[in-house]
């Protein structure tokens, strides 16, 4: 009991000295313990945030693809079954990415703005001509956000990897 009282008295005396001393500072141990606790909490919370970020991007990618596919279908229905991308809505001409974007965003009729790939932040579209095969995997992911083939009205997310369910982003 006496030992406990002496210990309490020591801490109270030590606290008074610290409070009265204007040069009071944290000890190295106090700082190390605080940093350690913050590090442990960050290690617990960070993976949860990263998982939510991946799910958010995946959801945004699916939504943007849905919007693009709907806009392509509506454009084709309103233009004698000619999908966007063909200059002057003429299937005999070579489709171009600039025509695709312009036709869909013109006056905000189909899209108010170009859709962004949430993984690489790009809106540029790689247009595949009628004679070319649609690629089996993403191409130039640092240049294009989307891959589109007007002849088949196929548009895909230009990104490698899989979502939390193991589905390839390219196969969305």
Cβ atoms of 110 and 74 closer than 8 Å: yes
CA 164 to chain centre: 14
Which helix (DSSP H) or strand (DSSP E) does residue 103 occupy? helix 97-105
Q: Where are the domains of the chain?
A: 28-171
Pair type for strands 154-157 and 146-149: antiparallel
Decide: helix, strand or coil at residue 148.
Answer: strand
**pLDDT value at position 14?**
53
How do residues 43-91 score in pLDDT, each as one tens digit? Answer: 888 887 777 888 999 999 999 999 999 999 999 999 999 999 999 999 9
Burial group, residue 75, by CB count within 10 angstroms (0-12, 13-18, 19+): buried
How sure is the predictor about 1, in pLDDT bands with cuts at 50, 70 and 90? low
What would the pLDDT profile of 86-116 be if each residue is shown by its tens digit? 999 999 999 999 999 999 998 888 999 999 9
- Residues 136-156 have pLDDT tens digits of 999 999 999 999 999 999 999
This prediction's pTM: 0.72
> Which pLDDT does position 6 carry in this prediction?
46
Residue 90 CA to residue 80 CA, distance in Å, equals 10
């Amino acid at each position: 009991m006496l030992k406990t009282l002496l210990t309490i008295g020591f801490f109270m005396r030590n606290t008074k000295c610290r409070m009265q001393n204007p040069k009071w500072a944290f000890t190295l141990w106090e700082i190390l313990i605080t940093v350690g606790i913050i590090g442990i909490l960050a290690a617990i919370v960070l993976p949860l945030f990263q998982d939510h970020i991946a799910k958010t991007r995946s959801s945004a990618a699916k939504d943007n693809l849905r919007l693009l596919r709907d806009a392509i279908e509506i454009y084709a229905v309103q233009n004698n079954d000619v999908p966007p991308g063909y200059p002057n809505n003429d299937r005999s001409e070579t489709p171009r990415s600039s025509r695709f974007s312009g036709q869909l965003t013109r006056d905000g009729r189909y899209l108010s703005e170009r859709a962004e790939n949430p993984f690489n932040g790009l809106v540029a579209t790689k247009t595949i001509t009628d004679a070319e095969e649609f690629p089996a995997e993403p191409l130039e992911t640092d240049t294009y956000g989307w891959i589109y083939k007007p002849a088949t009205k196929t548009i895909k997310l230009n990104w490698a990897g899989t979502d939390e369910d193991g589905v390839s982003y390219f196969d969305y």
